[in-house]
Structure 1
Amino acid sequence: MWRRSSSWIAAVLLAGGGLVLADAAPAQGWKPERNVELTIPSGPGGSNDIAGRIIQKLWADLNLLPVSSAVVNRAGGGHLVAYTYVQQRSGDPHMLGVMSTPLLMNHVEGRTPLSYNDLTPIAYLITEPMVAVVRADSPIKTAKDLLETLKTNPNALSIALTSTGHRVSVGMPMQKAGVNVKAVRTVVFKSGGETTNAVLGGHADVQITSVSTSVPQVSAGTMRALAVSSDQRLGGVMAQVPTWQELGYQSSGSWKGVMAPKGITPAQVAFWEDVMRKTAQSDDIRQYAEKNLWLVEFKGAADTRKWMQEQSASLKAVLGGLGLIKQ
């Protein structure tokens, strides 16, 4: 569940994403000796892309690495292409990746045997709410309209998302409203940018995405937000958008973190954990807070692994209740 706090993180979509150089080296212990790659599990324009690029920018701005770094988008398979790529680089401490909700969802749903145990979680960094949005001229004006339409006919609307796991944020309200969740039409795209274009182009009716992805279109008036997966109303352009909770429904948000391949050494884990802690604690992050509505909740490697174990068990119960686990 997403909660607000006085500590915020946000990100902006930065042009480029090529080579970034940093000058300073860490004080002691292991350190990278060649270019570092940060793999993003989606295409340009979505929240994973935004997060990855801001992380890389802060590595450079804060002089946290003694080597260059580069962002590489590896979209496809509901994030599986990127996760598998990182997994295959076993023992390579110069390969990192942005991890998010689908890493757990895909495994729990039975879509892949790959799990967080096949990787090295480095840090949990961001908690973010999810939002249901439609085109500004859509006949679906409210979250109530959405649920009532799907209850009458679960095939009446197509829902665009970047992972089947994102169905949970709206699936829980749907189930309580009496919608046949398994019968709802969903279309998986490679990035939040693609889901946005699909709705704007009339190729999909509803977008389920992170708030940061939807802020530009909602601000411009081209899309309308129906409800957010937050315990409290958000600020900025989302201030007038109701939460699922105030409408009487439970929902779930999303998160972002950083992972490495399995097989790296404890010293290498410690280096990257320290880099991510400094990234999360930097003053530079806070200037983006209100724009993207992300909450920083840093967890180190051990705490992240423990959280992922607990979250996987919780998701299994939720997805099972929604009928979304493959038999």
Structure 2
Amino acid sequence: MKYFKILAMVCAFLFIQQSAMAFEPRNVLCIAPSDPGGGWDFTCRNMAPILSDLNLVKGRIRTQNMPGAGGGVAYAHVVGQQKGNANLLVAASTATTTRLAQKMFQGFDADDVRWLAALGADYGIVAVSPKSRFKTLDDLVTALKENPAGMSFVGGSAVGGWDHLKMLMLADAAGVQDLKSVRYTSFSSGGPAIIEIMGGRADVFSGDVSETLTQLEAGSLKVLAVLGDDRLPGVLADVPTAKELGYDVIGANWRGFYLPEGVSDEQYAYWSDAMKKLAASEKFKALREQNGLAAFERTGAEMDEFVLNQVKSLEKLFARMGQ
């Protein structure tokens, strides 16, 4: 009898292990925390389906739009009602982590979900007029440290938004103590902000690569640094990263996914591996390049660590801004 009990326990253990190892996602739903159109919707409708094309997911991936509270409605739904659902992907981006750092998802924190992957990014840039007195990033940083209020920054996001935050991150990395004194003026988009630079009415433009390519090719803007891991190809090939110049700033407007809390480690590992294969596929690379996204890959534990560190860093910046 004892022998059969031991045998039953072993069989049960092996069954559990085999079941976990054999996880295959089915009837997968991707939540876009917004109305149709825009970045989150693009992530669900264009990035996620490649998983099916690569036979990493059985069947087609459905998209459900869940707008509200800048992603907060979807976040609350996932945390409160979808725990352990390994067949659910949720589109996310830098906007998600920024709002978490601002405590806009009231009652919820960054560690209430499992961060899965970032698969591409629109890198931030620091740009000036070709006639600017700032010839290098070091020139700009030196002036900024001497007199933080002595120059004007412009960008296409609101005060406290991503374009503003990128400049505060740079100032912080440079050792500027009084971040409140850094002058930033917001515009409805990058276009009007660039016009201010071209017209000599502002000193520094904070934006993303995708919105500046036309002006760069025309010689209307000069990029002092790219806020990325590595130098970019093409027209920006000779532009250094802030990192290589000694300022540890990654200003990547990334696009990716998170999973509900409660999925098993085996399920999480499956999805992490699937995202790596997605990122390496030629079909995805073509999609990324067609839509102006640079390579930016973080998956699994690396992604989780990246997001939590990003939120903590942004929280510190907001605290120093008095927000």
CA 1:282–1:197: 2 relative to 1, 3 Å: same
Q: Match of 2:168?
A: 171
**Cα offset for 1:305?**
3.0
AA matched with 2:50? L
| 1:56 aligns with one of 22, 43, 48 | 48
Aligned twin of 1:67: 60
The answer to whether 1:297 aligns with 2:297 is: yes
1:223-242 aligned within 5 A: 224-230=222-228, 232-242=230-240
> What is residue 110 of structure 2 aligned with on the other side?
116
Q: TM-score, normalised by structure 1?
A: 0.63
Greater relative CO (CA pairs within 8 A, separation 6+): 1
State the distance in 2 between where 1:129 and 1:258 align.
18
Flag the 1:294–1:83 CA change in 2: closer, same or farther, 3 A: farther
Distance 1:234 1:59, change over 3 A: same
1:159 equivalenced with 2:152 (yes/no): no
Report Cα offsets for 1:54-82 as digits up to 9, x if no partner. 413523543443134337484864x5465
* Contact preservation (8 Å) 1:45, 1:213: no
**2-structure distance, mates of 1:216, 1:94:** 41
Asked whether the equivalents of residues 120 and 288 of structure 2 are also in contact (C-alpha less than 8 Å), the reply is: no
Q: Is the 8 A contact 1:233 1:239 kept in 2?
A: yes
- Residue aligning to 1:319: 317
Specify the SS of the correspondent of 1:153: helix
Contact 1:125/1:298 (<8 A) preserved: yes
CA distance in 1 between partners of 2:221 and 2:44 (Å):
25
Residues 196 and 69 (structure 1), Cα distance of their counterparts in 2 relative to 1, 3 Å cut: farther
Output the CA distance in 2 between the equivalents of 1:213 and 1:81: 29
Partners in 2 of 1:273 and 1:53 — Cα distance?
19
Residue identity opposite 2:156 in structure 1: A
Aligned to 1:36: 29
Three-state SS of the structure 1 residue aligned to 2:275 is helix
User: SS at 2:48's partner residue?
Assistant: helix
> For residues 42 and 75 of structure 1, do their structure 2 counterparts lie closer, same or farther at Cα, with a shift above 3 Å needed?
farther
Which piece of structure 1 moves more, 102-111 or 229-238?
102-111
CA contact (8 A) 1:88 1:261 kept: no
Residues 233 and 281 of structure 1: is their aligned pair in 2 closer, same or farther, counting only changes over 3 Å? Answer: closer
1:264 is displaced (CA, Å) by: 4.7
Task: Kindly state the Cα deviation for residue 199 of structure 1 after the two structures are TM-superposed.
Answer: 2.5
Percent identity among equivalent residues?
Answer: 23
Aligned partner letter, 1:297:
E
Counterparts of 2:148 and 2:96 in 1: how far apart (Å)?
33
1:99 aligns with 2:96: no
Q: How far apart in 2 are the matches of 1:222 and 1:61?
A: 41
